[in-house]
Structures are given as structure tokens and as C-alpha cells.
DNA sequence: CCTCGTGGTGAAAAGGATTTCACACCGGTA
DNA sequence: TACCGGTGTGAAATCCTTTTCACCACGAGG
């Protein structure tokens, strides 16, 4: 029922020492054991909990790190968040999650909050490559790590996925399974993730055609990384005079839309090949016949957090970029198109 | 490239006024228009951003609210989070998300952070009914709203789902579809959500049997609200001498496990009836033949946030509990068991 | 002409912890 | 005995903003 807050002064008075000593007890300063004990007892008796705001103000740094992600409803990012959390868990830092919703305005507001709250560090999966401005943070020497997507011209550490390689492996797998007309539904133009995955796809096609690099975009569609976008793009592809017999989809949510469009048209895998970049959430359980490029989402988060912690310790000075490899998770038992 | 932080004093000096006036300009105090303008110009020129930590210290209250959820990877909670965010969006408050991971220790730490950071309010879906202690918060008059689950003996506003009604409707639907041996896989014993849903299920069964209330627990299983738990429970049920011909599953993730176990056993809906409490994420798209009790997850979040805002404005004094109704989302075209 | 009220302003205190600085004390060495 | 190094301690400054309070100036009313 104690409603007033207990300060370090109250504890000091109760223990018969100065506030400075109380502070030292809680921060590992040198204090005689006997005194330290009596301080701890007094603190416990009074139910003292340090005021983190005052502490942050004085230290010019709080003990919270921000993780800013563009879509909290995408399991890829929640898994990434788990990685960050688990890594931070081992320190005294707390992680707070901010959902920018792919909206650069919301993102900017959260970046302002991070700055204004003097957060100890920021991990950000940028909503935009061009508009996301990390300048204010880096100017004030707040440690920042970009994850999954690197904002253009930002001098920050980054943890990325090998999108090109993943795209290449994916399309190669479809080719090897016997598909011929392989489409690609990728993300928004201008997003590094979209472009790199598409580039990998094209590279695999080129290699298969033996160098006759006819850049043919008939089967290429740009969508928005969301369910609806994937569905619309797939419908378009199906409406072509000669529809593709397989499709490489550049993210998990769009794949859901694609599967939906295929069901509508009564064409389901493996009659038509579907390869998703990123695990389709839970589909692996409900419908196990889907091959996907597995993304190290958890490790992405873990690594980003580790990098941030390093940076906060003032360790490395040069900017680091870590690239994690994708892995092809083959799940089809009956791979390949219907032989004609 | 400015690395030093600009304070209210710098702005004051630049504008030729006192720091107090600058503060008033930013907080809607009375200032002559001309002065206000010059302050704003000076602030813009210097790139002044208020130090939120100092502000919080002085005001004894920050401008962020915490949302503590037990499982960030469960779409139910991410959707709820969206609701909270959208409601907070319209104010100047920011939402930070904390994932307690169904772990009361982690949760306690986050509650301490919320208190120590002097957050303006807390919305919590408690990890435990008994161990979650909101006392420290309420003692300090921090507005708290419980959502989805109400911690026992906590004097706080709450926004809940009508679990009993939902469970009843669900089981009644299965009965009406012609199933006879209806099992129930619910959550952990002691959790209000588990118990209430089970109670609803039993009520429906009792009503069907015309009052001959033989409380038979052969077909009742308690699991842990997770995929694996659902799978294990379903396997157990399938191994019974006389397996059930339908099952009411008390949450979305367990349903995924259940579907998995059914696939293993080569028994799929609608041969065996499956009714999920809570939408199975994306399954509605991939596999549309699944009826579920639809939970108002988004509205839960929205309402909780609205309640919190009310409480912060010092509006209502008596503790409020809002109960939202579930809705049966029928999606089966070919409902009912195979007629024998 | 004097008084009262009011609206705008600045000086200064307050908010709670950390950290610097100076000092007191103790044991040991020259 | 005098001096020195080291260690633990407390007083006070500091972090930046909000808010109280006193004050001034100005306009209106008696």
C-alpha cells in the first residue's frame, strides 16, 4: 500500500550512510562489506527500486534497446525478435519492440523516441531504403545495427541475408525438378531484398540457358510483400496465354496469397511448382509439401544483438556487415511437374 | 554532424528568452505569438529535440505505454498488439512491446522496467493468473489494464473474451453437424481461459444430453496452448479404444498440432470434426475448410488501449470489465462426419 | 489618480540517481 | 616521528526539463 516512491536518500538515511554510498552498493563501487549489507537490508525493508529515469538522465543512456521492425504480424520478424531478446536476456538490457508497419512516418517517430529516450542502442529493419534516416542516431553516437535490410548510405553495422544466393538456389531447384516456365514474384522495386532475390533468380535461369541471356520479364512481377499482393500477382500470371508452370515467390506472406490464387484456379503443387523465399508460417505443418528457402530469422536477430552489444562495449571500430546464408528446405515428397 | 545535444537552454539563448518560455512553447503554455515564433525558429535552426528522459523525470511520468504479451509468435497477440498501437496512434503516446514468453520471471522483469521507467500505463496479458503481481504498479497508481486474461485478485480494468459462450457455441456447432463423440483439448489447468472454454464445452454437451450430466472426462485433455502440446494431446485421443469423431481445440496453435496429428493418422476434416477457438493463422487461406470461433483480437487491443487512455485521463473511478463476444466463423462447405 | 486584476515572463527549485572531488583515516616505510 | 599511498566516504555538482512563485507592466474601473 506504499504509494510514495522510495528514493536513494530514504535508503541512505535508514542505513545511516550517504546517498553516494547507496549508489555505490547498487553499482559495484567500493564499499565496506558491513556497510553494504546494512544498505541492502535497508533497501529491502523499504522496498526500494531504483528510478531508472533519473539514472538514465544522469548516465545519459538508458538500459533499454529498441528493435524496430516493419511488420509485427509477419512471423519472420517475430522470430527475429526472439533472437534479439534471447541475446539481450543475458545482459541487463531490456528490449522494446516497435512496429513501424512499413510506414516511414511511424518509423521516424519511433527513431525519435529512441533518441529522446536515450536508448542504449537500436536494431532496425528499415521500412525504406532511402527514407529511413539513421543520421540523428549515429550523430549522437547511439549504436545502431541494421538487420535484414540496410538503409542506403548509412554508416552502420548490418546483418543481412544472402538474398542473391537464396534466389539462385531456389530457382535452380525448380529447374532441376523439371519445371520450364518459371515465374518470379518479388517485392517492391527499389527494395534491396526484392532486387537481390530477383537477381539470383535470373542468374539461375541464365545459367540454365547456357548463357543465352535473354532478359525476359514476361514472368516477373513486383508486388508488395503482402498476402494480397501475392495473390494478385499470381492471378495475373495465371491469366497469361502461356502461364508459368512454376513460381519463385520472394517472401512468405506473398506465398500464402499465391497458394490461394492457385487453389482458386484449381492448380495446386506439385502440378505447379511453388518455392517460397522464407518459411510459410505453419504451412509446413498443415501442408507439408512445400519447399522453401529457409531464412535464419532467429540467428539474424541474435547476431544483430550480439553486434550491438559489441558496439556498445566500444569494441570494434570499423563498420561490420555480416551475411548469413539461407538453406533450402526440401519438403516435397513428390517433386516435379506432371509429366506430359 | 552535430554531436552535442541541444538543450532547452541553447534554444532559449538563441531566441533571447528564458528556458521556461521555451518549455511553454512546446507544452502549450501561454506565450505571446511573436515570441513563440522566434522560439520555434531557433529550435528548428538548432535541431532541438526535447530530452524525453529529463521530461519524464520531472513530470514523474513518461509518454510511453507498455504492452506485455506472453507469446509474440502467436498471431492472436500480434493482432491484439496492432489494436493497441492503432488506438495509441491517435495520441502522443508510443507503445513498446514486451514479450514475457509465458515466463513469470521475464514478466516480472518487464513489470519492473515499466515501473522504473515510469511508464504512463501498462496493458498486460498475464503469463500467470496467480504469480503475476500487479501490486507494485497499482500501488504507485500506474494505470493498468488486463487483457485476455485477468490475474486473480488484481484490482484493475480488464478486457476479456466471452470464453464460456465461445466454447458452448463451438461444441454446439459440432453437435449440430452430426458428431457424437466430441473431445476437448484445452489449455493448462488453472488458467481462466482454459477453464472457461472447457466449461462452455461441457455446458453444450450437457444440454444435448438433456440434463443427464454425466461428467465424463475421457475425451478431455489439458495441454499447454502450443503446437506440440496440441499434437501430443490429439495423438493420445486417437489412441483411445473408441477415439472421438470430433474435437474442440481451445486455441489456435494447438489446432495446428491437432491437424498435424490427424494428418499423421490419415484422418482429416471433415471426416473428423475440428473446431478451433481462435483463427488458425493463415490456414483459412491455405486450407479454407476449417470452422473456428473467431476472436476479436484486434478489438481486444483497441478496447484495452481506450480503457487505459480513459483511466489515464482520470476519468472513471470504478474498476471496469469489458467482455467481448466471439463469433463462429463457419467455413466448411461439406460439414459433418461421413455418414455410416 | 489610485487600485485591482490579469496575463506574460524569468529565476530558481524540484525531480532522483551518478560521479567528481576533497578529505579523513589507516598502515607501512624512511 | 614524519611522510606517503591507498581506500572508503560524503558533500555537492550534474544531467535537462517542468513548474512554482514572484514580479512587472498594462488596462480597466472606481
- Which residue in A338, A229, A312 sits closest to A59, CA to CA? A312
A282/B287 touch (CB, cutoff 8 Å), yes or no: no
Residue segments in chain A with a per-residue pLDDT below the cut of 50 = 1-3, 333-335, 339-340
A84 CA to D10 C1', in Å?
41
Cβ pair B166, B326 in contact under 8 A? yes
Could you read off the pLDDT of A255-307 as tens digits, one per residue? 989 988 998 888 876 688 899 999 887 766 656 567 889 999 999 999 999 99
**Domain A163-295 grouped into CATH 3.40.640.10:** no
Question: At B289, is the pLDDT very low, low, confident or very high (cuts 50, 70, 90)?
Answer: low
For residue A34, count CB atoms less than 10 angstroms from its CB and return exposed for 0-12, middle for 13-18, buried for 19 or more: exposed
pLDDT at position B208 over 90: no
Phi, psi of B187 (to 5 degrees): -85, -165
A329 touches strand C (CB under 7 A): no
Q: Strand D contacts (CB < 7 A) among A residues 116-145?
A: none
Nearest residue of B to residue A80, measured between CA atoms: B73
* CB of B28 lies under 7 Å from some atom of strand C: no
Query: Which pLDDT belongs to residue B4?
Result: 55
Please say whether the beta carbons of B156 and B146 come within 8 A. Answer: yes
Chain B interface mutation, best of A285, A292, A298, highest count of B Cβ atoms under 10 Å = A285
Contact A53 B53 (CB under 8 A): yes
The pLDDT of residue B69 is: 95
Domain coordinates of chain B in residue numbers? Answer: 8-50, 59-161+297-325, 163-295
B146 versus A209: which is more confidently predicted? B146
Residues of A in contact with B65 (CB under 8 A): none
**A12 beta carbon < 7 A from strand C?**
no
**Strand C close residues, chain A 58-87, CB < 7 angstroms:** 58-59
Nearest to A57 among B54, B82, B281 (CB): B54
- pLDDT tens digits, B232-252: 999 999 999 999 999 999 999
Q: How far is the CA of A53 from the C1' of D8 (A)?
A: 28
Residue nearest to nucleotide D20 (CA to C1'): B20
Say if CB A194 and CB A250 are below 8 A apart.
yes
pLDDT value at residue B134? 93
Distance of CA B77 to the CA centre of its chain: 5
Choose the closest CB to B286 out of A75, A81, A256. A256
Please name the fold of domain A59-161+297-325.
Answer: Rossmann fold (3.40.50)
* Cα–Cα dist A283/B281, whole Å: 9
Q: Is A57 on the interface with B (CB under 8 A)?
A: yes
Contact of B49 with chain A, judged by CB distance below 8 Å, is answered with: yes
Q: Is A260 on the interface with B (CB under 8 A)?
A: yes
Residues 204-243 of B with CB under 8 A from A: 227
CB environment B253-264: b (16+ within 10 A), e (fewer): bbbbbbbbbbee
Structure confidence at residue B2 (pLDDT): 41
Q: Protein B54 CA to nucleic acid D18 C1', in Å?
A: 9
What pLDDT score was predicted for residue B288?
57
CB B46 under 7 Å to nucleic chain D: no
How far B237 CA lies from chain A's nearest CA (Å)?
Answer: 19
Q: Is the CB of B35 under 7 A from strand C?
A: yes
Q: Per DSSP, which regions of A20-71 are E strands?
A: 64-69
pLDDT tier at B285 (50, 70, 90 boundaries)? Answer: low
Q: Does the fold of domain A163-295 match that of domain A59-161+297-325? A: yes
Contact status of A58 with chain B (Cβ, < 8 Å): no
Instruction: Provide the pLDDT confidence category of residue B297 given band limits of 50, 70 and 90.
Output: very high
> Which of A14-18, A313-317, B180-184, B253-257 is the least confident region?
A313-317
Is the pLDDT at B44 greater than 70? The verdict is yes
Amino acid at each position: 500500500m506504499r504509494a510514495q516512491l522510495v528514493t536513494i536518500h530514504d535508503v541512505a538515511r535508514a542505513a545511516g550512510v550517504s546517498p553516494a554510498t547507496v549508489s555505490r552498493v547498487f553499482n559495484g563501487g567500493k564499499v565496506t562489506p558491513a556497510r553494504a549489507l546494512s544498505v541492502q537490508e535497508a533497501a529491502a525493508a523499504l522496498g526500494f527500486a531504483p528510478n531508472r529515469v533519473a539514472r538514465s538522465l544522469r548516465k545519459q543512456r538508458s538500459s533499454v534497446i529498441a528493435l524496430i521492425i516493419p511488420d509485427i504480424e509477419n512471423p519472420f520478424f517475430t522470430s527475429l525478435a526472439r533472437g534479439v531478446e534471447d541475446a539481450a536476456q543475458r545482459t541487463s538490457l531490456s528490449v522494446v519492440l516497435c512496429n513501424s508497419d512499413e510506414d516511414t512516418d511511424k518509423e521516424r517517430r519511433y527513431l525519435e523516441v529512441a533518441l529522446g529516450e536515450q536508448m542504449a542502442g537500436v536494431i532496425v529493419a528499415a521500412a525504406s531504403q532511402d527514407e529511413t534516416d539513421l543520421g540523428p542516431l549515429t550523430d549522437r553516437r547511439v549504436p545502431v545495427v541494421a538487420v535484414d535490410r540496410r538503409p542506403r548510405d548509412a554508416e552502420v553495422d548490418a546483418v543481412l541475408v544472402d538474398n542473391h544466393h537464396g534466389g539462385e538456389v531456389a530457382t535452380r531447384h525448380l529447374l532441376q525438378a523439371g519445371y520450364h516456365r518459371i515465374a518470379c514474384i518479388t517485392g517492391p522495386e527499389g527494395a534491396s531484398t526484392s532486387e537481390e532475390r530477383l537477381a539470383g533468380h535470373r542468374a539461375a535461369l541464365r545459367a540454365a540457358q547456357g548463357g543465352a541471356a535473354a532478359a525476359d520479364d514476361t514472368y516477373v512481377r513486383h508486388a508488395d510483400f503482402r498476402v494480397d499482393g501475392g495473390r494478385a500477382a499470381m492471378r495475373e500470371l495465371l491469366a497469361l496465354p502461356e502461364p508459368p508452370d512454376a513460381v519463385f515467390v520472394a517472401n512468405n506472406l506473398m506465398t500464402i496469397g499465391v497458394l490461394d490464387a492457385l487453389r482458386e484456379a484449381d492448380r495446386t503443387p506439385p502440378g505447379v511448382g511453388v518455392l517460397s523465399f522464407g518459411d510459410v508460417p505453419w504451412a509446413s505443418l498443415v501442408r507439408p509439401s512445400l519447399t522453401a528457402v529457409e531464412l535464419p530469422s532467429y540467428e539474424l536477430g541474435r547476431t544483430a544483438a550480439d553486434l550491438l552489444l559489441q558496439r556498445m562495449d566500444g569494441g570494434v571500430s570499423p563498420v561490420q556487415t555480416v551475411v548469413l546464408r539461407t538453406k533450402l528446405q526440401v519438403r516435397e515428397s513428390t517433386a516435379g511437374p506432371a509429366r506430359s
